[in-house]
């Protein structure tokens, strides 16, 4: 059976389209959710970098002749290598080298990509035992 030309040609006033307002809104919300999840993953990576920088700084400051400057330099080197750009700009390092212990603290504030979520603020502190001469 052959269909007529009139049945094969779609008229413009028919509601046969798939791209509706509901579909566009659903895709928009899906993309928004994707961006929020990606932002959380990036921030978790940055928190891990802050923890690594604190650990490396404390280890560098624990050597017998090491000073606060060496501790902070090593922590800043790790941060500069693994966390550059705008995220790395809001990170500060502070080391406290005592006679028997070294504490390296990395404080951070990470701003979100979208204004829907608050900033992540926190700190990571690592401790190491200072080397001593044998007695």
15 lies in some domain: no
Averaged pLDDT in 10-residue chunks for the chain of 135 residues: 57 62 91 93 95 96 93 95 89 94 96 86 95 86
106 CB burial (10 A radius; 0-12, 13-18, 19+)? buried
55 lies in some domain: yes
CB atoms within 10 A of CB 50: 26
120 lies in some domain: yes
Return the pLDDT at 12. 55
Whole-angstrom Cα distance, residue 54 to residue 92?
11
pTM equals 0.79
The contacts of residue 43 (CB under 8 Å, 6+ apart) are 110, 112, 120
67 lies in some domain: yes
Q: Among 43, 49, 107, 48, which Cα is nearest to 78's?
A: 49
59 lies in some domain: yes
Domains contained in the chain, number: 1
109 lies in some domain: yes
Return the pLDDT at 85. 87
Domain hosting residue 99, numbered range: 22-129
Whole-angstrom Cα distance, residue 49 to residue 113?
19
């Amino acid at each position: 059976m052959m269909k007529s030309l009139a049945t094969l040609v779609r008229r413009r006033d028919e509601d046969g389209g798939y791209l509706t307002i509901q579909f566009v809104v659903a895709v928009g919300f899906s993309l928004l959710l994707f961006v929020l999840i990606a932002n959380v993953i990036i921030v978790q990576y940055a928190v891990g970098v802050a923890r690594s920088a604190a650990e490396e700084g404390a280890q560098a400051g624990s050597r017998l002749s090491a000073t606060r400057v060496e501790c902070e330099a090593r922590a800043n080197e790790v941060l500069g290598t693994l966390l550059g750009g705008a995220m790395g700009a809001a990170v500060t390092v502070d080391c406290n080298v005592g006679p028997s212990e070294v504490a390296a603290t990395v404080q951070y504030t990470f701003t979100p990509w979208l204004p829907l979520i608050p900033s992540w603020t926190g700190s990571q502190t690592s401790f190491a035992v200072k080397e001593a001469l044998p007695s």
